[in-house]
């Protein structure tokens, strides 16, 4: 079963008539993941 997040992305791509493979970046999630990595790195590695 597809999560609601990915189902919404799929519907948005269909609505935009994008039916070929493409890269979708969720900038909010990307920024959150970058912040988490920086937080968990040893001091001095950022």
pTM above 0.85, yes or no: no
Name the residue ranges covered by the structural domains of the chain: 20-46
pLDDT tens per residue across span 28-41: 999 999 999 998 98
Residue pair 36/28 in contact by the 8 Å Cβ criterion: no
Residue pair 36/46 in contact by the 8 Å Cβ criterion: no
Q: What is the mean pLDDT of residues 13-39?
A: 94
Residue pair 10/2 in contact by the 8 Å Cβ criterion: yes
Tokens of 35: 């912040």
Q: What is the mean pLDDT of residues 9-25?
A: 93
What's residue 43's pLDDT? 77
* 3-state secondary structure string across 24-37: CCCHHHHHHHHHHH
Confidence of residue 44 (pLDDT cuts 50, 70, 90): confident
Confidence of residue 11 (pLDDT cuts 50, 70, 90): very high
């Amino acid at each position: 079963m597809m999560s609601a997040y990915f189902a919404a992305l799929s519907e948005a791509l269909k609505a935009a008539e994008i039916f070929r493979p493409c890269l979708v970046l969720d900038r909010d999630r990307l920024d959150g993941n970058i912040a988490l990595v920086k937080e968990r790195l040893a001091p001095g590695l950022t």
